[in-house]
Amino acid sequence: MRSAEMTAEPAETRQLSLSFLRPSRSAVIGTLAVLAFLVLWQIAPGIGWVNGRFTSRPTEVFLAAIDIFGNDNFLYHARISLTEFVAGFALAIVVSIPLGVLLGTSKIARYLIDPPLMALYIAPTLVLLPIMVIWLGIDMAPKIAVVFLGAVFPIVLNTMAGMSEADPKFLRMARSFGATRFDIFTRVLVPGSLPALLTGLRLAVGRAVLGVIVGELFVSQAGIGYQLNLYGSAMRIDRLLVYALIVSAFGYTLTVIVRSVENKIRDWRSK
Partner 1 sequence: MAQIEIRDLGIDYRKPKSNEVFSAVDSVDLSVEKGEFVTIVGSSGCGKSTLLMAVAGLVDLTRGSIEIDGKRVDGPGPDRAVVFQEASLLPWRSVRGNVKFGLEMQRWSGGDLNERAMQMIRLVGLGRFSDYHPHQLSGGMRQRVNIARALAVDPEVLLMDEPFGALDAQTREIMGTELLRIWERSKKTALFVTHDIDEAIFLADKIVVMGRNPGHIKEVITVDLPRPRNEAILDSDAFHELRKRLRAHLAEDMSSMQLVQEVA
Residues of this chain that bind partner 1 (CB under 8 A): 1-7, 9, 11-12, 169-170, 172-179, 183, 187-188, 191-192, 194, 265, 267-271
Contact between residue 193 and residue 166 where contact means Cβ atoms under 8 Å apart: yes
Rounded least distance, CB 169 to partner 1, Å: 5
Which positions ≥6 away from 203 have C-beta within 8 Å? 154, 158
Contacts of 133 (CB under 8 A, 6+ apart): 142, 218, 219
**What is the DSSP track for 104-129?**
HH-HHHHHHHHHHHHHHHHS-GGGGH
In the complex, the smallest distance separating the C-beta of residue 230 from partner 1, rounded to whole angstroms, is 49
Q: Which is nearer to partner 1, 6 or 18 (CB)?
A: 6
Distance CA 225, CA 222 (A): 8
What Rg, from alpha-carbon coordinates, does the chain have? 25
Residue-wise DSSP of 2-64: ----PPP-PPP--PPP-GGGSPPHHHHHHHHHHHHHHHHHHHTTTTTSS-HHHH--HHHHHHH
- Considering the complex, state which of residue 8 and residue 127 has its C-beta at the smaller distance from partner 1: 8
Q: Which of 89, 102, 90 is nearest to 193 (CA)?
A: 102
CB of 14 vs partner 1, minimal distance in Å: 10
Nearest to partner 1 of 9, 26 (CB atom)? 9
- Considering beta carbons, is residue 195 or 251 the nearer one to partner 1? 195
Distances (CA, A) of 144 to 73, 81, 214: 22, 9, 12
For residue 1, the minimal CB distance to partner 1 (Å) is: 4
CB count in 10 Å sphere of residue 81: 26
CB closer to partner 1 out of 91 and 194: 194
DSSP symbol at 271: -
